[in-house]
Structure 1
């Protein structure tokens, strides 16, 4: 009798587990509204039945691109794309890669962030490309309407920029920086709340974070650091540097830096065996030295405090 009851209970538990797993599998295998994605993006796509993924693409044909002095067809890797697949609770996951020129990167990144898309990487794919080409990887989870509309806004921003200036720009706006630097350190040290390093009129602060690699503790001097270097004058300065970030900190820091007029020029990793795993962004901004410092400090204040070292 006890054996029979135990067997019935085990079969019931197994049935519930299978039912739950089946419901979950059905939930993520929901049919995609491919017509809506095409309508919202204005682009035709292709559906992979095997992976339940719908993918739209947009080749860069508006500007001729040479790599190694060879005119490169878009088919060889010069196409923006976004792919959609169902997630839980009726939502969709989107990933994508966007082909951009230097003067398009930050305006398009702003549009992506404002549309609640994630910007997950920014880097080059080629050497000796003319004009220089960058690739911005994007992602997100939400409704088809939100994600597809965000992608469309990004592509529209690219078209707007190229319609205004058919040839990609070769400098950042906001004026030129004098070659001789005269940055006043004291106000910047007050903003950062720490002493910095001065050299030939330039100023730099470095803030470390803690990690382990191959079981060994590493930090600021091993390259696990955020730094900001200032040159030019107090009123017309340039700032450049790195930010070391946990994955959950990336989107908020990107928004803060862009909101303060600081351009993002790369997003990638520096290490592969670090725990926790860090991402790095590289940036370049022009303006008042104190305003730039306040933006960097505001972003620093958003980081987890447990691993910050000065």
Structure 2
């Protein structure tokens, strides 16, 4: 269940990323977005956020308002290169690309990325990268 937030910046972050705030306290903001991917694990249809989620966060602001910004999203194999290209063009570091599941269809990967900059700037860059993904 989404947690109500006092932080308008966290709400803006979520709106830009087309997600929902799931935590906002002690200068930490976490946003979840569920990808619309029809997936099966062990030949069973799944709607689990463990399979279909994208998660984003920001925390630890410095005096200039730059925060530690983190992201992870499920991604289809054919989406990997275009998505990484947009992230890299926007100076967001890609830190991991791996699978979580065995026997899933379609083949799903999970990509992790990070930056240290103002959180709304990070959100806009990530939102731009999401435009290359399957709708």
What's the TM-score, normalizing by structure 1? Answer: 0.39
1:119 and 2:71 matched = no
Q: What is the alpha-carbon distance in structure 2 between the residues aligned to residue 32 and residue 117 of structure 1? A: 24
Q: What is the alpha-carbon distance in structure 2 between the residues aligned to residue 137 and residue 38 of structure 1? A: 18
Aligned to 1:37: 13
1:19-30 alignment runs, 5 A limit: none
Aligned to 2:4: none
Aligned to 1:73: 47
Contact kept? 1:92, 1:143, Cα under 8 Å: yes
More strand by share: 2
Cα shift at 1:97: 0.7
Equivalent of residue 135 in structure 1, options 110, 113, 119:
110
Aligned length: 128
Cα shift at 1:64: 1.1
Equivalent of residue 151 in structure 1, options 115, 126, 135:
126
Contact kept? 1:97, 1:137, Cα under 8 Å: yes
Aligned to 2:74: 99
Contact kept? 1:32, 1:86, Cα under 8 Å: no
Return the index of the structure with the highest Cα Rg: 1
Structure 2: gaps spanning 5 or more residues: 1-6
Cα shift at 1:69: 0.9
Q: What is the alpha-carbon distance in structure 2 between the residues aligned to residue 35 and residue 79 of structure 1? A: 18
Say if 1:130 and 1:54 are closer, same or farther in 2 by CA, change over 3 A. Answer: same
Cα shift at 1:123: 0.4
1:110 and 2:85 matched = yes
Aligned to 2:30: 55
Structure 1: gaps spanning 5 or more residues: 1-30, 164-310
What's the TM-score, normalizing by structure 2? Answer: 0.84
Three-state SS of the structure 1 residue aligned to 2:114 is strand
Q: What is the alpha-carbon distance in structure 1 between the residues aligned to residue 14 and residue 80 of structure 2? A: 24
Task: Provide, for residues 83-109 of structure 1, a one-character-per-residue CA deviation record: whole Å limited to 9, x for no partner.
Answer: 111321221111111110010011000
Aligned to 2:3: none
Q: What is the alpha-carbon distance in structure 2 between the residues aligned to residue 42 and residue 76 of structure 1? A: 18
Task: Provide, for residues 132-168 of structure 1, a one-character-per-residue CA deviation record: whole Å limited to 9, x for no partner.
Answer: 000000111001232111121122221xxx25xxxxx
